[in-house]
Structure 1
């Protein structure tokens, strides 16, 4: 086995992560449009891609271990790509390995930023829903007017149908 198998697996990982990045962009649109059904479909697609990534990651780890054994290294260390590239002596293979490492790293950073943005959008949507519920259901009277702390005779019941802050 050569380093080509490892490079091919890394390229496949990059491709799947690009699909995740595309889904993240779609997810952003449906979050903004408040399309819950579409969001669920996207999340199901993401789950399938995550399974693919897990399988490719396992294959990558096995491939890296095989490469190390073929080089006479019996260690079971889980080396990262930079460390592994130090054991690749063919200049072209090393360049390809480092290039795909950089490409995959950039893709992962983009995906991380997209996921962080989507998380913030979801948090904002939930805050808006909570505020809307508070406006619709109404706040309890004690939140609006002053009551002396010793005065327990004030109405403690919420005036709405349910406590949205629970």
Structure 2
């Protein structure tokens, strides 16, 4: 019975991850457009989803721990993988395995999308830095003469006075 609660928690985690993936894809569009007004509410929405994910994950971990306690397996590594090895009911085992695989795919897809967003932001920052560098005149361009000659003349004048 407790493993059904874990399955439901994992299904909720899948839903949250998939919803977060949609937000991440919307962020990609906003980043490509350079639209900060569109990006800001997405970041707020994303933060709320992440908080919900953290709460759901904490709940899932407690349920897994409780399952191990109920089945007198406290010394074991309290993970879903270990749980899959210990479940006797083949039907529940199969459902839990499928949900675990689905959750893994959801997390992987979200991670891939966020890596794309990070790369796009990095490219945008590089473009901004390049643009700023092109707009700011270089200090060496401001000096018309050779700086080494100027320094040697200053030194020789200083040396002769000393």
Q: What is the TM-score normalised by the length of structure 2?
A: 0.85
Kindly provide the CA deviation profile for residues 87-114 of structure 1, in whole angstroms up to 9, marking residues without a partner as x: 1110010001000110010111111110
**Following superposition, which runs of at least 4 residues in structure 1 exceed 3 angstroms of deviation?**
142-153
Q: Paired residues, what number? A: 152
1:12-23 superposed matches below 5 A:
12-23=12-23
Structure 1 gap ranges (5+): 154-166
CA 1:125–1:143 in 2, change beyond 3 Å: closer, same or farther?
farther
Aligned to 1:158: none
CA 1:146–1:60 in 2, change beyond 3 Å: closer, same or farther?
farther
Structure 2 gap ranges (5+): 153-162
Q: Is the 8 A contact 2:68 2:78 kept in 1?
A: no
CA distance in 2, matches of 1:34, 1:124: 12
Q: What is the TM-score normalised by the length of structure 1?
A: 0.83
Larger RCO (CA under 8 A, 6+ residues apart) = 2
Kindly provide the CA deviation profile for residues 70-102 of structure 1, in whole angstroms up to 9, marking residues without a partner as x: 112233x65221111111110010001000110
